Amino acid sequence: MSTFTTPDGTEIFYKDWGSGQPIIFSHGWPLSADDWDNQMLFFKDHGFRVIAHDRRGHGRSAQPAGGHDMDHYADDLAALAEHLDVTDAIHVGHSAGGGEVARYIGRHGESRVAKVVLISAVTPSTALSDANPDGLPQSAFEGLQAQLAASRTTFFRELPAGPFYGFNRPGVETVDAIVDNWWRQAMMGAANAQYDCVFAFAREDYTEDLARINVPVLVMHGEDDQIVSYADTAPRAVKLVRNGTLKSYPGFPHGMPTTQAETINADLLAFIRS
C-alpha cells in the first residue's frame, strides 16, 4: 500500500493513479478514499492524475489516540501534497472533506491549488449560531455520537439505508450494494476517530478559511440533502469565496457523488476544463 508519515508520526494511506493535472479528493465522515472510486476511475480515464487519502483514523490510515480535528486534517492534506510534490491541483471535498479543503487553504495557502470544488460540504458552518440561526443545535451532534457509541455497527447500517442517500424518500429504491459498501468503509475506521470527528466538523466555522480562497470554486449541493442542509450551507459558502459558482440539484441527496455519479462527474469535468 502507498503511505506516508505526517510530521506528528501518523501514517496516512493514499491512492495515486494516472498522470496529468492532479485532482485530490477529500472524503466525508466516516468513510475512506474508496468513496471516490467512481470519480477516480472516471477522471483517470479522462487524462487526469487522481489522488485520494484515508483521513487519519479512517480507512487504512493509522488510528492515533488524538489529532482528530480539522487543523490536523488540513495539515495532513498539506503533508500529502508536499509528499507527492503536487502543484496546480484541483481539490474536491465532500461533506466533512469540504471543511478539510477549506481549512487546508486557510492554513497553508493556494500555492499548490488551481481550483476547488465543495460537494455537499459542511462549509461555512452547520451548527446553530448567530451567523447560522437555522443550524443544528449541539444536541443533534451529541445524538450522533450517542448512537455511534451505543452500537456503531447498527448506526452505520441505518444511516446509509436512510437519509444519507435519500433511500428513505418515497419511490426511491434502496441499493443494498451501496449501503453495504458504506458500512464496509465506515467499519474500517477507528471508533474514537469517528466519534471525535463529529464535533471536528460540527463545531467549526469556516468563514475565514473561505474568505482566503481566491481560486475558482464550484459549490455543488443537493437540495434534498438530509445530512447537511442545502439552505444553511451552500448559498452562504458561495458568497464568502471571491470567485464562486453555485450549482444546486433538486431532489439530490447528500451522497449524490455515488447515486448521481454520471451527473456529478460531468459537471465536475466541465468546471475543471472551463
Span 241-262, pLDDT tens digits: 999 999 999 999 999 999 999 9
> Taking 90 as the threshold, does the pLDDT of residue 113 lie above it?
yes
Helix axes 176-188, 152-159, angle to 10 degrees: 140
pLDDT at 203: 81
> Taking 80 as the threshold, does the pLDDT of residue 66 lie above it?
yes
Beta pairing partners, 11: 5
DSSP label at residue 16: E
For the chain, where are the E strands, in sequence order?
A: 3-5, 11-17, 22-26, 49-53, 89-94, 113-119, 217-222, 244-249
Helix axes 191-202, 96-108, angle to 10 degrees: 70
Helix axes 138-150, 152-159, angle to 10 degrees: 120
pLDDT at 199: 84
Q: How many CB atoms lie within 10 A of CB 31?
A: 27
| Average pLDDT rounded to a whole number, residues 46-73 | 97
pLDDT at 132: 86
Q: Can you give the pTM of this predicted structure?
A: 0.97
pLDDT at 106: 98
Place of cell 460531468: 266
Rounded CA-CA distance 259/268 in Å is 15
> Taking 90 as the threshold, does the pLDDT of residue 36 lie above it?
yes
> Taking 90 as the threshold, does the pLDDT of residue 191 lie above it?
yes
Report the SS3 class of residue 63.
coil
Instruction: Give residue-wise pLDDT tens across range 134-182.
Output: 888 888 889 999 999 999 999 999 999 999 999 999 999 999 999 999 9
| Average pLDDT rounded to a whole number, residues 68-91 | 98
Phi, psi dihedral angles at 139 (to 5 degrees): -60, -30
Instruction: Go through the domains of the chain in sequence order and give each one's CATH number.
Output: 3-273 (3.40.50.1820)
Q: How many CB atoms lie within 10 A of CB 247?
A: 17
> Taking 80 as the threshold, does the pLDDT of residue 201 lie above it?
no
Which residues are catalytic, by number?
95, 225, 254
Half-sphere exposure of 17 (CA within 13 A, CB side): 18
